[in-house]
Structures are given as structure tokens and as C-alpha cells.
């Protein structure tokens, strides 16, 4: 008789104390708009369905409450932000460098790599890795990138006249080969062996996104009984087997080569491999960063380039203008040289506009470790999370006129003068932005230039709003990529 009463009293005491400690969180959040919050689950009822449905629901949240809103997922408070002025403050605040707890669902694949690492590890790794991606080293990659793009062209030539194909499949294998040849310095010939990296990357990222979005999947004892769990295990094993192969090949290379001067800048894998052999980088750290670059570097480059080609297939006038620039600078058949890249100005405008409409990461999340004052009326309190909606901001009429119109001229210098620098964030912003910005733009510029010089591409999709999106961590079309190729 007394035990249930005692337990009830203990629970009530804990419950009151828990909410009393968070009273300031509640007080400040009341000033922010948001949907109806239910007891215990908060707004988790809005997150349901498969990956496309989750993506639609999340995007609808941003549309319903633009610039700033709040959502509760269980006991966790999330501020949803899309205003450039607020994003600049948040992304540059040292109190928001930590990724939200939901990033733990990508850790089975990338561990504590740069994407998901706690701040202490991220700072150390970034400091070590950054010199391996400086411009001097990137300049040496042009020839390797062109070689792999030429293989891609040969493969796509065989698909000409066959109607629409999934071009992202071919671009993903090419991107994997490029990153292995350049960043890792270990060829794996994914294109020649016709590997299925596009499919397995898509499925893995979809599973990770489902774990983030489906509250029930947050519980390991539930998730481990699902088909998604079994698929994840198989895919992770395949990718990690590849990374182990890369490590062994690189170790052989380093053991056989003449010692390099200590002060010379080294490519990514040479650098962290030597750190590992000198006991400055653990085996786990080594594998985590290789898996991070393999997955993030190749999938985002391939997906972004696939969106560029899709938009060019929908807009023949823009494709023709880009083609004319490429032929004028490169001629009919020679490879891209380092000195050509600054001259491919319209190609860069096209890529930037595509990244505006289809940013790789539609939203990211950070933990707020200290109060952040956005203006004299709004403070984001310590102890909550903040989710930044890049896709919504990139398509908001307040910042972009006719946002669903594909217009590369938006990024001409004279048209960008009065635009807030944080209104375009395909690579995020602040100190914890994407470390591979220059590398990614370089690969995309070479790939798009070489493909459009050789092929005319067409798409059956007529309007951007007809492309239904899904988010499997990286933004993708729900029904996949489709594009027809014909030789020029």
C-alpha cells in the first residue's frame, strides 16, 4: 500500500525538480511561435512516414513558421532558424560548435570523423587535416580528375540514344574514383568494375535519416529488429572493407617510397597515415576520417553534379551558353588545365545557382551550450538545440526573387552586392563549415565542363517544383535522377 505511494511521491519530486531547473528554457521559448505541443512527445507526432514523407513534414515546418520557430521532440527543445542575420550569429558562436545528439545515428559509419565529432576531437582533426586541402595540393589533382571524367564520358557514350537513365549512378562511381585517386592516392577503379556505390550510399543515408526522423528508431532495442538495421550492417561492412583496403595500399606506398621532407605539405591520406604510424592518430581516428571523406566527399559531389545536369537538361538556353563558354576556353577535346578553372566563370555561376536550389544538406543541427542573443527581443537559451534550414532560406522570396527560377546570373558580382553573405550556405558557414569547399567546387567545375562539351542532356521534367524531394541526410529527388544523353 505504501510502496506505490512512495514511488509516486519520488516520481513527483523528480518531475517537479526536473521542470523547475528548466524554467528559464520554458519562459524564453514561450515567446517563439510553433505548433501545438502534446504532453511527453511534444511535436514528434509531426515526424512520421518514410523518408520522402519525413522530408515533406520537415520542410513544411520551415514553411509554416519562417525565420524562427520552436519544436519539442520529447523533452528536447529545437529552435528552427532560417533568417540569414540569425544564422550568421549562430554559426560563428563558439557555443554552437557541438553537433546535436541526433548526429549519433551517422556514427556507425563515420564514427568521430569531422562531420559528427565532438568539438574537442573536431578541432584537433581539422587542424591536422586542413593543410592537406590547401590550394597548392589541390592544384595537383586536375589531371587525375580529368582522367576519371574521361572514363565517365566513355561509359555515358554507350547510354546515348537509350532515353533517360539514372546518371547519378555513373557520377557516383566517378566521384568515388576521383576521391580515391586524389585525396587518398589509391586507385580502386569503381567505374571500370561497375560498382553500385550510388545505390548503397543512398540506402545507408536513407537509413540514417530514418533513425533521426522516426522517434521509435531512436531506441536501439527497437531498431535492431528492423530490416533497416540489417541493411545498415551489410552496407557499412562493404564500405569499411573498402577503407581497410585503402589503408593497406597506402601503407605499402609509404613503406616503399623515399622519405619526404618533413616541411612539405602532404596530401590528405599521406598526412593522416603518417600521423597514425607515428602514434599521433589512432587506428580508429584514421578509419573514421577515411570513411567520412569517402562517403561525404563522393556522394555530395555526385549528387550536386547530378542536380546541375538535371537543371541544364531542363533549361536548354542555359546549357547552350555554358557549352559555348567551355568550347571557347577548352576547345573541342583537350582536358581541363589548372589555369582554365578561373576562366570557367559561367560554369561556376551555374553550379552556384544549382546549389542554391538543391543544397546538399537541407538542414543541420547544433547544440546551444551558452545563451545566444539574436537581437534585443530574442535569446536562444542554453540547453536547447538549433536547426538551421538552408533549403528553405535558399528558396525564400524574401531573399531571392522568383526563387524557383533557375537563373545563374543571380551570382554575377553586380547582382550579389546587397545580398547577405549568409543567405547562401550550401557548404554551411562559420568555423565548422565544410572543409572541402574548394575541392568540391573544383571537381564539379571540371566534371560539368567536360560532360557538357561532349553531351547534350535533356530532361522530361519541366518545372523545378515538379521535382519532389526526399532527404536521406543528403538532398535527393524522391524518384531518383533521370536524364537523356546524346553526343554533340
Longest dimension (CA), the chain: 90
Q: Count CB-CB contacts under 10 A for residue 255.
A: 8
The answer to whether the CB of 214 falls within 8 A of the CB of 47 is yes
**For the range 72-75, what are the long-range contacts, defined as Cβ-Cβ under 8 Å and sequence gap of 24 or more?**
72/34, 72/37, 72/42, 72/43, 73/41, 73/42, 73/43, 73/44, 73/47, 73/215, 74/40, 74/41, 74/42, 74/44, 74/215, 75/42
The answer to whether the CB of 451 falls within 8 A of the CB of 149 is yes
The answer to whether the CB of 439 falls within 8 A of the CB of 293 is no
Q: In what helix (H) or strand (E) does residue 144 lie, and over which residues does it extend?
A: helix 142-157
- In 3D, which of 333, 335, 327 has the Cα closest to residue 447? 335
Q: Is 163 left (phi over 0), alpha (psi -120 to 50) or beta?
A: left
The answer to whether the CB of 268 falls within 8 A of the CB of 184 is yes
Tell me: is residue 434 an annotated ligand-binding position.
yes
Instruction: Specify the DSSP class assigned to residue 334.
Output: P
Going by the annotation, the residues of the binding site are 434
Going by the annotation, the residues of the binding site for heme are 434
Amino acid at each position: 500500500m505504501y510502496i506505490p505511494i512512495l514511488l509516486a511521491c519520488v516520481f513527483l519530486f523528480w518531475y517537479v525538480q526536473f521542470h523547475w531547473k528548466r524554467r528559464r528554457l520554458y519562459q524564453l521559448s514561450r515567446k517563439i511561435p510553433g505548433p501545438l505541443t502534446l504532453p511527453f512527445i511534444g511535436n514528434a507526432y509531426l515526424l512520421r512516414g518514410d523518408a520522402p514523407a519525413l522530408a515533406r513534414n520537415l520542410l513544411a515546418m520551415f514553411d509554416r513558421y519562417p525565420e524562427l520557430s520552436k519544436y519539442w521532440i520529447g523533452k528536447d527543445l529545437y529552435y528552427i532558424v532560417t533568417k540569414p542575420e540569425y544564422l550568421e550569429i549562430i554559426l560563428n558562436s563558439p557555443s554552437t560548435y557541438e553537433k546535436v545528439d541526433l548526429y549519433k545515428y551517422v556514427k556507425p559509419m563515420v564514427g568521430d570523423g569531422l562531420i559528427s565529432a565532438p568539438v574537442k576531437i573536431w578541432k584537433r582533426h581539422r587542424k591536422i587535416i586542413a593543410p592537406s586541402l590547401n590550394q597548392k595540393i589541390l592544384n595537383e589533382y586536375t589531371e587525375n580528375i580529368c582522367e576519371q571524367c574521361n572514363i565517365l564520358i566513355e561509359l555515358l557514350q554507350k547510354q546515348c540514344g537509350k532515353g533517360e537513365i539514372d546518371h547519378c549512378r555513373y557520377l557516383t562511381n566517378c566521384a568515388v574514383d576521383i576521391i580515391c585517386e586524389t585525396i587518398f592516392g589509391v586507385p580502386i577503379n569503381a567505374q571500370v568494375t561497375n560498382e553500385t556505390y550510388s545505390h548503397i550510399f543512398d540506402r545507408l543515408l536513407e537509413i540514417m535519416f530514418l533513425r533521426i526522423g522516426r522517434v521509435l528508431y531512436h531506441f536501439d532495442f527497437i531498431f535492431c529488429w528492423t530490416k533497416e538495421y540489417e541493411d545498415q550492417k551489410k552496407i557499412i561492412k562493404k564500405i569499411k572493407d573498402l577503407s581497410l583496403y585503402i589503408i593497406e595500399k597506402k601503407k605499402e606506398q609509404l613503406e616503399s617510397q623515399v622519405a619526404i621532407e618533413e616541411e612539405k605539405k602532404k596530401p590528405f591520406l599521406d598526412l593522416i597515415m603518417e600521423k597514425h604510424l607515428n602514434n599521433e592518430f589512432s587506428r580508429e581516428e584514421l578509419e573514421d576520417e577515411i570513411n567520412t571523406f569517402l562517403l561525404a566527399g563522393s556522394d555530395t559531389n555526385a549528387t550536386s553534379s547530378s542536380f546541375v545536369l538535371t537543371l541544364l537538361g531542363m533549361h536548354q538556353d542555359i546549357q547552350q551558353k555554358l557549352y559555348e563558354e567551355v568550347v571557347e576556353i577548352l576547345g573541342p577535346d583537350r582536358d581541363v588545365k589548372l589555369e582554365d578553372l578561373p576562366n570557367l566563370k559561367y560554369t561556376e555561376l551555374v553550379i552556384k545557382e544549382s546549389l542554391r536550389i538543391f543544397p546538399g544538406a537541407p538542414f543541420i543541427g547544433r547544440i546551444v551550450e551558452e545563451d545566444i542573443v539574436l537581437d534585443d527581443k530574442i535569446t536562444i537559451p542554453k540547453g536547447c538545440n538549433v536547426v538551421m534550414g538552408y533549403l528553405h532560406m535558399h528558396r525564400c522570396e524574401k531573399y531571392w526573387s522568383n526563387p524557383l527560377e533557375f537563373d545563374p546570373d543571380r551570382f554575377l558580382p553586380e547582382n550579389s552586392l546587397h545580398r547577405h553573405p549568409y543567405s547562401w550556405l550550401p557548404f554551411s558557414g562559420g568555423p565548422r563549415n565544410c572543409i572541402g569547399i574548394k575541392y568540391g567546387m573544383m571537381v564539379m567545375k571540371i566534371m560539368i565542363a567536360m560532360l557538357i562539351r561532349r553531351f547534350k542532356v535533356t530532361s522530361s521534367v519541366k518545372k523545378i517544383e515538379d521535382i519532389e524531394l526526399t532527404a536521406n541526410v543528403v538532398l535527393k529527388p524522391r524518384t531518383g535522377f533521370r536524364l537523356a544523353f546524346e553526343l554533340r
